[in-house]
Structure 1
Amino acid sequence: MRIRATVAAVSGALALTALAAPVAQASDDDVSRADIAKVLEAAHAASPDQAMFSARTAAYDEPYALNVTFSNFKIAKAVKVGTTNRVTTKVTYTLTHGADVDITALDFFTDPFLYKGSFAEPQNMLFGDDFGHCKATSATKATCSGTIDVRPKDGDLLNVDAGTWKAGAMAVAFNGQDPAADDFDVAEVGYVEKGGLGTTLVQRYSKLTVNASPEPVKKGRTITVTGKLSRANWETGKYAGYTGQSVKLQFRKKNSSTYTTLKTIKTDSKGNLKTTVKASADGYFRYSFAGTTTTPAVNATGDFVDVK
């Protein structure tokens, strides 16, 4: 879900959900992220320099600090995003709450999220299409799950967003307050947010090709191995060469399951690869890229060469 455009609109981490689209969440009040944004704006407007609303004492025109904490946040080590398809990543976390918090209420909501940069002033944030769902494990604890949904085709990410992201979670209890009503009282709403619960890599999906020729070839003759390393460009919606990257040329003999590295070369200004080797035995050539923080590791599909 793209929220970058709202970053400068309101101070504080989650306030930038103000322009987000409604979420498909079953409830009597049909609460949307825009409704929750009213609570967020009130919380952050009261103290714009504070990212952690839970550390403040609520005033009459802001939500009170909800008695909820988050822990045991788990997410995949990397979220690999291409150019068109939606990418959905599951997250889980533990929610601990006071006896005064009813997490089964239809107007109680919790949500995991990812953010790039600092929690107080994030450069970008990612949420799920739906709010999180919790299952009570005791009178004061619950196991919660949710998703992070990324749509690169809709502009959720810029290329500079690739790399390490931090994770957080929030919870809000409307306590019977209708955010659409004229008499909506935000001071009766509880809210908490917490960043720094975990990390993951949001990466530009990579592709790697290889072609070894000629084939067949006589033993001792020269084999030329070409290929290309490319990765998703989130801004153009296409794949572009990944320049200046070290890539291993590997060989696997016929009837073997193990690849051996022959040499390491670098991609050129367009991501292309080219080198030569001497033909020694029937087998498969491939290029192998170890990956970076912004781009996942990838192996080309082996290309078989018949040596006469």
Structure 2
Amino acid sequence: MTVLAGALVLSAFTAPTAQAAGTGITVTGIVVNGGKPVVVGTSDVKEPRITFRVHLPAGYSTADFSAWDAEPYLYHGTTAEKGALNGSLQASYTCYETAARISDCEGTLYIEPRYRLDSNNDATTWKIGVATKLWGANGQPKKEQYTTAPGGVQIRRWAKATVNASPEPVKKGGTLTVTGSLKRADWVKHTYTGVAAATVKLQFRKKGGSAYTTVKTAKSSASGALKTTVKASADGYWRWSFGGWSTTGAATSAVDFVDVR
């Protein structure tokens, strides 16, 4: 088995074959993070797993890594070539030879939000690019191609919720006020700011029970605040649950137990 290592830019969750006509190299089966969206906060580095397969043209061998290169990536630019040069998110990968002209590759992406995500507009569907090169004896590419594969991948802003129910304890049949907040990562300010106009579920689990049920929904305020009232009927646990958007990850608060007397 031949093992090859290299550098990789951020790729897509799942993409069909990307054919680089100028090189004859194909990249197939690209999978990132198990097919799930990549959700990124304000400071923690994210390292989602990536796998893909490289097929080389006749006359080239996976045993000679210095003769070829194949890198999938995501980009915002107008063309795949410009996208490869601007805003790429670096990672590392290793390729394992499975046949004379086929390698299976795996590795992890490296997403540092403080330096690689500098706009909240980065929370969107990114285009999928594939760069392939055939190297000459002088160390310069004799053939190279940048192509765009169908599909895309969502990068989302991390969200978090809080909850507080009062009064505690509460009389049975009395009014319980449940408050909280919904915030998400702001990649410009490097902090969490309120999510406005989000529909958030208020959920309840009776003491001794195993499942939560949605009691009602509420809209978050301009600052991300949550508030509603319910009638207290039994001891149990209250929480807020937000399903997420294409730009924002899902969030479920911790629970607040209320004793009903």
* TM-score past 0.5 threshold: yes
For 2:123, the aligned partner's letter is A
Residues 1:176 and 2:167 are matched in the alignment: no
Residues 1:219 and 2:178 are matched in the alignment: no
Other-structure match for 1:246: 199
Other-structure match for 2:61: 102
Identify which of 15, 21, 24 aligns with 1:67.
24
Whether contact under 8 Å (1:110, 1:133) holds in the other structure is no
Other-structure match for 2:115: 154
Cα deviation, residue 54, structure 1? 4.0
TM-score by length of 1: 0.72
Other-structure match for 1:194: 147
State the Cα deviation string for residues 182-229 of structure 1 (Å, max 9, x = none): xxxx4x633233322553210000001101111111111111100000
Identify which of 219, 229, 235 aligns with 1:276.
229
Residues 1:127 and 2:80 are matched in the alignment: no
Identify which of 93, 113, 121 aligns with 2:52.
93
Q: Distance in 2 between matches of 1:232 and 1:157?
A: 12
CA gap 1:127/1:177 in 2 versus in 1, 3 angstroms:
farther
Structure 1 residues not aligned, in runs of 5+: 1-24, 34-51, 56-64, 179-185
Other-structure match for 1:5: none
Q: Percent of pairs identical after alignment?
A: 39
Whether contact under 8 Å (1:249, 1:261) holds in the other structure is yes
Other-structure match for 2:158: 205
Q: Distance in 1 between matches of 2:31 and 2:124?
A: 18
Q: Distance in 2 between matches of 1:142 and 1:26?
A: 11
Q: Distance in 1 between matches of 2:59 and 2:136?
A: 11
Cα deviation, residue 122, structure 1? 4.6
Q: Distance in 2 between matches of 1:194 and 1:147?
A: 22
Q: Distance in 1 between matches of 2:91 and 2:104?
A: 19
Whether contact under 8 Å (2:202, 2:217) holds in the other structure is yes
Whether contact under 8 Å (2:27, 2:70) holds in the other structure is no
Task: Give the aligned length.
Answer: 244
Cα deviation, residue 164, structure 1? 1.3
For 1:116, the aligned partner's letter is H
TM-score by length of 2: 0.84
Question: Greater CA deviation, 71-80 or 148-157?
Answer: 148-157
Q: Distance in 2 between matches of 1:72 and 1:78?
A: 17
Q: Distance in 2 between matches of 1:111 and 1:307?
A: 59
SS in 1 for 2:121: helix
Residues 1:285 and 2:238 are matched in the alignment: yes
For 1:148, the aligned partner's letter is L
Whether contact under 8 Å (2:175, 2:232) holds in the other structure is yes
- The structure richer in strand per residue is 2
Other-structure match for 1:113: 73
Other-structure match for 1:166: 127
Structure 2 residues not aligned, in runs of 5+: 9-17
CA gap 1:146/1:172 in 2 versus in 1, 3 angstroms:
farther
Question: Greater CA deviation, 87-96 or 259-268?
Answer: 87-96
Whether contact under 8 Å (1:203, 1:293) holds in the other structure is yes
Whether contact under 8 Å (1:169, 1:195) holds in the other structure is yes
